Structure 1
Amino acid sequence: MATRQTPDACTLLDADHRNVKKMFKEFEELTNSKAKSAVQKKRELADQICRELTVHAQIEEEIFYPALRSATKAGDLLDEAEVEHSTAKDLIAQIEQGDESDPKWDAKVIVLGEYIDHHVKEERGEIFVKARAARGLDLVAMRDELQARKDALMEEMAAATA
């Protein structure tokens, strides 16, 4: 059983949450600027946010949620989380395919940030609590599995865009 001091799967996933939150904050700070460099930086940030969230959702759906589903009675929470992922993926697709000159493009990124913030609060307050309380769920070993899958997916995405 993992202790609070031992980094586990929840710690890794929450580090992703904090990282993306910083990027959303930086994006919002740039929204009032009309400078060409700010527009370019917003696009780069939005693309990075979309990549990070896509990989994060995938490792949760492939590894974390199925393990939790079989170790706990958190099915309703996990169903809700997967629906939230689906909605976020729709917004991500609109952002990736969108044009930053569209007046609603910034709003889509900001709304995605708000949506993710809501999702993160539920994961931290409910799903991670159930995961850490579950018997027979090795969250430390799962952290390593999540990290390995995350690294592989990030490499695939980098190769696809190179």
Structure 2
Amino acid sequence: MAAGNTNTTHILANDHRKVEKFFTDFESASGRDQKSRVARQICNDLKLHTIIEEEIFYPALEGKIDEDLLKEAYVEHDGAKLLVNEISEGSADEEFFDAKVTVLKEQIEHHVKEEEKQHENMFQQARVAEVDLHEISQQMLDRKEELKRLAEAKGLPAAGMRTVE
């Protein structure tokens, strides 16, 4: 990440762009092995992203932005995590594998829209709230590095649910 681009919302937006590129790569992938590899990249990046949002970003926003928007974000994460876990544990040879990745893409597009693109989105609200986004960004970057080391060493565990039993 470029120096000076360490604001929390920039970090998260960069994550969004990276996953969007992976979805495009998946759509143009030929062969099951390539689709499987790209799908695993999508799932791992989404696991990292949701963990840092749920452990650091969202808690910092509680009571400072629209509560309904924040609750929806948690529920949207859990919906995506259900698919992430199924895709991660599945095989590109399965009948619904491509469909699951497509639906996951649609869910993520909707979630990204609410976080950064629609009027009065979460990122806009975070910027005007009394939240130190630079301090949070360092916490997020540190946690992300820790999670990347874990992923490389033994893989990330299944995505944990917060709102779904």
Aligned counterpart in structure 2 of residue 117 of structure 1, from 96, 109, 117: 109
Structure 2: gaps of 5 or more residues:
156-165
Helix, strand or coil for the counterpart of 1:103?
Answer: coil
Give the Å deviation of 1:73: 3.5
C-alpha RMSD of matched pairs (Å): 1.3
Instruction: Give the ranges of 4+ consecutive aligned residues of structure 1 lying more than 2 Å apart after TM superposition.
Output: none
Matched, 1:103 2:95: yes
Give the Å deviation of 1:140: 1.2
Counterpart for residue 67 of structure 1: 60
Counterpart for residue 37 of structure 2: 44
Aligned counterpart in structure 1 of residue 50 of structure 2, from 52, 57, 66: 57
Decide which structure has the larger Cα Rg and report it.
1
Structure 1: gaps of 5 or more residues:
none
Distance 1:151 1:13 in 2: 14
TM-score (norm 2): 0.86
Given that 1:91 and 1:108 are in contact with CA atoms closer than 8 Å, whether structure 2 keeps it comes out as: yes
Given that 1:9 and 1:140 are in contact with CA atoms closer than 8 Å, whether structure 2 keeps it comes out as: yes
Q: Greater helix percent: which structure?
A: 1
Counterpart for residue 15 of structure 2: 16
Distance 2:91 2:150 in 1: 24
Helix, strand or coil for the counterpart of 1:100?
Answer: coil
Give the Å deviation of 1:6: 5.7
Distance 2:96 2:122 in 1: 32
**1:1-36: per-residue Cα shift (whole Å, max 9, x none)?**
xxxx76410000000000000000010112xx4xxx
Counterpart for residue 162 of structure 2: none
Helix, strand or coil for the counterpart of 1:101?
Answer: coil
AA aligned to 2:18 is N
Counterpart for residue 138 of structure 2: 144
Matched, 1:26 2:8: no
Given that 2:92 and 2:98 are in contact with CA atoms closer than 8 Å, whether structure 1 keeps it comes out as: yes
Given that 2:65 and 2:126 are in contact with CA atoms closer than 8 Å, whether structure 1 keeps it comes out as: no
AA aligned to 2:38 is L
**Which fold has the larger relative contact order, with Cα–Cα distance below 8 Å and residues 6 or more apart in sequence?**
1
TM-score (norm 1): 0.87
Q: Calculate percent identity across the aligned residue pairs.
A: 43
AA aligned to 2:115 is E
Counterpart for residue 128 of structure 1: 123
Counterpart for residue 158 of structure 2: none
